Structure 1
Amino acid sequence: MTSAYDDLMSFERETGALAQVAGRLGWDQETMMPRGAGDQRSEEMAAMESVLHARRTDPRIGEWLAAIDPQTLDAEGQAQVRHIARSFRRANKVPAKLAADLARLTSRSHRTWAEARADDDFQAFAPVLAEVVALKREEGAALAAGGDVYDALLDDFEPGATAAELKAMFGALRPRLVALRQAILERPEPPALHGTFDETAQMALTRKVAQCFGYDMSRGRIDKAVHPFSSGSGDDVRITTRTNALDPFNCLYSTIHETGHATYEQAIRGNYRFTPLGQGVSMGVHESQSRIYENQLGRSRAFTGWLYGQFGETFGELGLDGPEAFYAAVNRVRNGYIRTEADEVQYNLHVLLRFDLEQALISGDLQVADLETAWNDRFHADFGFAVDKPSDGVLQDVHWSAGLFGYFPTYSLGNVYAGCLLKALQEAVPDLETQLAAGDPSGATAWLRENVQQHGGLYEPREVIERACGFAPSEAPLLDYLEAKFGALYGL
């Protein structure tokens, strides 16, 4: 006779496998789905969500949980039960019809957003976004059960975090970031990379670099999408990137970023597959991996020195005076509209704008009809110049069309975590710079795999970072790193 725990885990693994199938539908919609299949896909995704919601609220889960004595389980078993109980409580607060309606609506909303973005027409997107906001408010209220609605949504992406504590952390980030940005923009701008760069060659190089960072192409693939993303876990983890003939850095660093996400999922212990422990523990921790791969490793002086040679072999003459000029071009700080293309100094200012606006949308202090104006006003106040078109402003990100309210602040939290991890990594791997200069990030990625990635959901998010670093996470290491790096680059 099987135990209640065994029955529970068997059921969870089936649910986890079905969730992976649902995720593959989303990946296909972004990459290969015929344009005319959108309405059918909406119904398919709503049907899958109905099945998943029914499983996540199955009364047997409550019976199994009640029959389990956590004290009889090892640390992994206790963590599984903790995650399952939390998910069960949350899922039972959301009516099945609302879950299906959200899946159907966000599939439609995503298509509308993509078309509106291509046409630079926010008004074409606003009505469906208003529907999404209304349903997310309803979902958040159900989850909050009288508590803070935005915190309830945030908890889906960063369990245990609150908007208040993130505001305090981000409030400590902002003054030093603003001061650093201002000092840099007063200095001469280094030369940029100019030319036309074959997009097929970009994809070949980006695949090489992804594998250099440990991405297992036998268990993954790289495709193109409007908005780069990573999808899946275990033995099927796919990433997307995008190409621009005038900007090969966009393709390369989007890929390195998504490789950080993907290698996290590929590195999680195999016996956790299809269970709550078999995926990244939070989006903040996930983002710490993508950001440390992309920035602290991928944009470092040492690694860009190696990359300079790879660019020369791939594209020929670059018009830059050696690896130092290439390093400066990779790390140029300049005015720009797009969050995903922003330099390390200004990136978090883009995130904080979104964090504040989405809180206002969920609370009702800001209506969708006023969102474009609010975005443009805030952008001008923060960056000192005007948004030129909606695709460079309120329409640039996919998140709100997908109903991902509470996701944006995890980007900055991930940057904070990455700053902490770099400090610990440099102490643990003293010859890190030498390795990176040889185009070999394996010392760094092995340390991250051992100390962060393999654990999946075993520990709580902040506990993962504290165990890896040996100290509680704070914004100080990130700020110190940025001021040292860009102070040297710009002679501050």
Structure 2
Amino acid sequence: MSAYEDLMAFQRRTEALAQVAGRLGWDQETVMPRGAAEQRGEEMAAMEGILHARRTDPRIADWLARAEAVDEEAEAQLRLIRRSYERATKVPGRLAEEIARVTSVAQGIWADARAKDDVAAFLPTLDTVVRLRREEAAALAGGGDLYDALIDDYEPEATADTIGAVFDRMRPRLVALREAVMGAAHQPRALSGHFGHDGQMRLARDLAKTFGYDFTRGRLDLAVHPFSSGAGNDARITTRVVETDPFNCIYSTIHEVGHACYELGIDGDYLLTPLGGGVSMGVHESQSRIYENQLGRSRAFTGWLGAEMTDRFGDLGLGDADAFHGAVNRVAPGFIRTEADEVHYNLHIMMRFDLERDLIRGSLGVADLEEAWNARFLSDFGVAVDRPSHGMLQDVHWSIGLFGYFPTYALGNVYAGCLHQALRAAVPDLDAHLAQGQTEAAVEWLRENVQRFGGLRGPRDTIRHACGFEPDEGPLLDYLDAKFAEIYRL
């Protein structure tokens, strides 16, 4: 066997073990008994120790030195393996294991604290997580910016400065749109009523199929914080049910289907290789957000969805299809990021980006985080946080150490705006399809132009290749302005 073949055989085993570790995480979020938390922490640490040892195996350096790439795919495989090896060898094995152990246990501590609105019960654990991630960032940064080192885990090629510049350009137009919408004479009515758990879950499963989710290679379960997990031929999704708010379940499901369909849509030849997963979390979010928003919240699709919900749940009390579309897209300065409308969503992300950057850089202490969160939220949204579960305890990310992850949500929206513009040009009769509850034309375009390539290209190159132009925030902001001007009759 050649050096390249030896390396890829080794890598496939590593990728398979990583999928097993991911399945442990899925189990912990969905069906694991609460009393198993400490043991699961040890199990996760053990798996991370094995994976870290493989990712830093000295043979990788030798194989990389001797391997020859015969085509674009082989070049990309070697590039990603080299990047992983160089990053892994900078992090001590004991630190990688400790982070896995602590964040596994921290997740349960956060969930309990969130349920009880008890910030004090979570702060010591969060302080440990921040300390460990800062130590990891210092090892990776080599004297550079700590937060940039962590961003690189989720969005290669991006930095805090480049992301901050995008946010600085977005913020004025988002704020102006929000002010116009909130001050508009016409305000859409909200949906009200009771929508049973079982009925919502049946609808969720049907919507997942509508958006192309393959249940022979996935499953739908419940979780406190909806997520997608897995890759290759096993990509699972979760949702949650609030019986007074079916849109929570509907759009959480569609969002996670976007993530899962990205993984399921990758070329089967890339299975259990570095190319066999999404290239970045920003590109991943572009898929979940375009499924959820530009497709799922469009006037055409909500026309079909409103009729479908009326058939299942009875009269919705909103009147016509325009009123239902307005209810789906109603703008309000709510506390919860995952329930935020498209106008407010990126402002939620910008706030978290600033706070976590300060935490990692050391200019904000964990003990001061709640006060900083509440002050910033009041400044940005004009509403005082009423309880911690509506504030700094609402998101799971910091408990499991995902610092640098939050900004990729907004980058995903930016990428989705670009993809939506290109999709509309490629499929000019898209609305006619969506009005019939048919997403195949959109889903196939995304699979063909984005998903099937997996990690073949860098994040921005992936979007550029799909769209035919350099990605920027313009298409997203233009889409938002046009959409909400129509809904709010501006």
In structure 1, the residue matched to 2:113 is 116
In structure 2, the residue matched to 1:52 is 51
Counterpart of 2:229 in 1: which secondary structure? strand
2:177 maps to 1:177: no
Counterpart of 2:204 in 1: which secondary structure? helix
1:266 deviates by 0.3
Alignment partners' CA distance in 2, 1:94 and 1:3: 29
Amino acid at match of 2:94: K
Q: Residue 139 of structure 2: which of 142, 153, 171 is its match?
A: 142
Amino acid at match of 1:167: G
1:413-436 deviation line (CA, Å, top 9, x unaligned): 000000000000000001100000
Q: Residue 416 of structure 1: which of 403, 411, 414 is its match?
A: 414
Alignment partners' CA distance in 2, 1:92 and 1:234: 27
More deviation, 3-12/313-322: 313-322
In structure 2, the residue matched to 1:453 is 451
1:69 deviates by 3.1
In structure 1, the residue matched to 2:162 is 165
Structure 1 residues not aligned, in runs of 5+: none
1:99 deviates by 0.1
In structure 1, the residue matched to 2:126 is 129
In structure 1, the residue matched to 2:328 is 330
Q: Residue 84 of structure 1: which of 69, 75, 81 is its match?
A: 81
Alignment partners' CA distance in 2, 1:383 and 1:460: 35
Amino acid at match of 2:321: P
2:442 maps to 1:440: no
Counterpart of 1:277 in 2: which secondary structure? helix
In structure 2, the residue matched to 1:463 is 461
1:404-457 deviation line (CA, Å, top 9, x unaligned): 000000000000000000000000001100000010011001000000000000
Alignment partners' CA distance in 2, 1:120 and 1:261: 30
Alignment partners' CA distance in 1, 2:67 and 2:326: 58
Residues 4 and 68 in structure 2, CA contact (< 8 A), matched pair in contact too: no
Alignment partners' CA distance in 2, 1:19 and 1:385: 42
Number of residue pairs matched by the alignment:
489
Within a 5 Å distance, the mapping from 1:397-416 to structure 2 comes to 397-416=395-414
In structure 1, the residue matched to 2:233 is 235
Alignment partners' CA distance in 1, 2:120 and 2:449: 47
1:354-404 deviation line (CA, Å, top 9, x unaligned): 000000000000000000000000000000110000000000000000100
1:168-204 deviation line (CA, Å, top 9, x unaligned): 0110000000000011111242111110000110000
1:287-340 deviation line (CA, Å, top 9, x unaligned): 000000000000000000000111011111111102111100000001200000
Counterpart of 2:236 in 1: which secondary structure? strand
Counterpart of 1:155 in 2: which secondary structure? helix
1:469 deviates by 0.5
Tell me the C-alpha RMSD between the 2 structures: 0.6
Q: Residue 342 of structure 1: which of 340, 343, 358 is its match?
A: 340
1:147 deviates by 1.1
Q: Residue 154 of structure 1: which of 151, 154, 166 is its match?
A: 151
1:148 deviates by 1.0
Within a 5 Å distance, the mapping from 1:346-425 to structure 2 comes to 346-425=344-423
Percent of aligned pairs with the same amino acid: 65
Alignment partners' CA distance in 2, 1:62 and 1:402: 30
In structure 2, the residue matched to 1:190 is 188
Alignment partners' CA distance in 1, 2:359 and 2:187: 37
Greater than 6 Å deviation, 4+ residue runs: none
Counterpart of 1:396 in 2: which secondary structure? coil
Amino acid at match of 1:489: I
In structure 1, the residue matched to 2:289 is 291
Normalised by the length of structure 2, the TM-score is 0.99
